[in-house]
A and B are shown apart, each in its own frame.
Chain A
Amino acid sequence: MAELKVHIGDLELKNPVMTASGTFGYGTEYADFIDLGRLGGIFVKGTTLTPRQGNDYPRMAETPSGMLNAVGLQNKGVDYFVEHLYPIIKEYDTHMIVNVSGSTIEDYVACAEKLANLEKMPAIELNISCPNVKEGGMAFGTSCQSATLVTREVRKVFPKTLIVKLSPNVTSISEIARGVEDEGADAVSLVNTFLGMAIDVESRRPKLSTITGGLSGPCIKPIAIRMVWEVFNAVKIPVIGMGGICHWQDAIEFILAGASAVQVGTFNFIDPTASVKIVEGIHDYLERHHISSVDDLVGKMIV
């Protein structure tokens, strides 16, 4: 039997397949479709210190092999999460990880502090890469100085596994990855969405209310793979790869490029059972290639 277990910081995952924040709700929404316990982990919807209504409609535009979104971190805030959602999701037989976002460093810190006390919250993913909020979000992730500062401050209050989600909208993603590694991040996850836009040619109006939005789906996969490879070669901490993963082959590709684990994102909308199929596909691949453990495959692209 091939070993699917992987480690991210102190966190042991039963397999390397997790679901990306903003594409999987709080897991509950998928309970009709799959056994959530078969996943390595679930990254729940981006959570902020105070409730957010998000951006105006329209928030979505389909694009060739992908989509743009401009949701803008709509969520009910961390207190609502702790009181109403956590009691439900803590019973799931997988790691539930909150994606934390904010407009100021104080927001991030306060939000992380509230989550640090939750017994069954083994990790958080620091979202310094949301392209759809006016203040904060990606602004923190596109400068090395602010990325390191927010990581440093959150690290002080969050003793468990700290994953920092990186923006691809930068000149050198490996420089930022090294910066947050130096501040004590246990892992980095990449990539968040690419800043993009689309225009309706008949009306000449932008397809998104915010004009620009975040591009995701298979169209970004080759760029995401390249960035995972770059970051894998730049840092010692584990890399969690994502960007357009639809099938097990995509996941293996990310692992070969250096990802210790992966997140399935946008494709959950199209096939809500995709994540579990990917777990099975990875297992079969390892058996077929007589590879005893996922760990033996990480970054093992042959050049």
Chain B
Amino acid sequence: MQVVDFTVRSNEPLNDQNHLLKVTPVGDEKLPEMYPGQFVQILVDSSLHVFLRRPISINFVDKKKNEIWLLIQKVGEGTKKICSIPEGGILNLIFPLGNSFTLPEKRGSYLLVAGGVGSAPMLFLGSKMKENGIEADFLLGGRSAKDILQREDFAQLGSLYCTTEDGSLGEKGFVTHHSLLKEKRYDFIYTCGPKPMMMAVAEYARNQGIECEVSLENLMACGFGVCLCCVEKTVRGNVCACTEGPVFNMKELLW
């Protein structure tokens, strides 16, 4: 873990709610190894209502350009401020934080399921799998076509399937209703998104006897295991989602 100032190389709005920030260390120091599922804690210039850092998952690491990609949804005042930082602006990060998804060691059929901005860590996970010669299936859900982010990037890593609630892209409905889940048998499912969605995915996996890892986004203050605020109830008792997670095997959770 380290605390480092980053320069914002680009800040691109992907739709009315989400921005993609590409950042590189101010001093050009080489980025450490990072793993899919890990996150950063972003310092927001303090104001009356924003006191704590904002945890944001790592969307992608571009080793050649020494850049971290951060996909940020404007949820409240803090994330709005981060999204308003112009190109050339400075962002202070504590990183890398948390554990990571289990990277598959052998070829098989892998499904990465995400809802909304939950797709952020899936791009990094998919790219690492591709590096290892594994092409996964991606199933992304959102309210509308504009909510399915970074489609071109995902399409390069494997097969992309979508669901939208209004039917404007892919199949109409929720990810767990997609026909793919009836047609294909997977060895492992990875998921990130709204909790009800992840719980539905986990239930599907449990019923099918498929391994499943979920990435939680519990409210946290520190991000490195000292405040004990982001706890999740597990078979091992209360554990910090920031250090023992954010990725959990569904078998550990009391869902």
Query: Chain A residues in contact with chain B, CB under 8 A?
Result: 22-25, 29-30, 32-33, 45, 53-54, 56-67, 69, 71, 74, 217-218, 266, 268-273
Contacts and interface: CB of A to CB of B under 8 A. Distances in A.
A67 B52 contact: yes
Interface string B205-232: 0000000000000111111111111111
Given A32-B1, A60-B219, A217 B51 contact: yes
Contacts of B46: 65
Interface of A is mostly: loop
Contact of B48 (A29, A65, A67): A65
A74 B238 contact: yes
Contacts of B218: 57-58
A272 B94 contact: yes
A5 to B, nearest CB: 27
Nearest to B229: A60
Instruction: Bin chain B's interface residue count.
Output: 20 to 34
B49 interface: yes
Nearest to A65: B51
Interface of B: 1-3, 43, 46, 48-53, 94, 218-233, 237-238
7 contacts: A53-B238, A56-B233, A62-B52, A64-B48, A268-B222, A269-B226, A272-B94
Contacts of B223: 269
Contacts of B52: 62, 67, 269-270
Given A29-B225, A33-B3, A58 B51 contact: no
Contacts of B53: 269-270
Contact of B225 (A25, A60, A67, A69): A25
Contacts of A269: 52-53, 221-223, 226-227
A29 B226 contact: yes
Contacts of A29: 224-226
A220 to B, nearest CB: 12
Name, among B3, B222, B237, the residue most crowded by chain A CB atoms within 10 Å (CB to CB): B222
Nearest to B226: A25
A22 B51 contact: no
Nearest to A63: B51
Given A53-B237, A64-B51, A270-B52, 12 more contacts: A29-B224, A33-B3, A58-B219, A59-B228, A62-B51, A62-B52, A64-B48, A268-B222, A269-B227, A270-B51, A271-B3, A271-B43
B225 A59 contact: no
Given A60-B219, A268-B222, A269-B222, A69 B229 contact: yes
Given A32-B1, A270-B53, A54 B226 contact: no
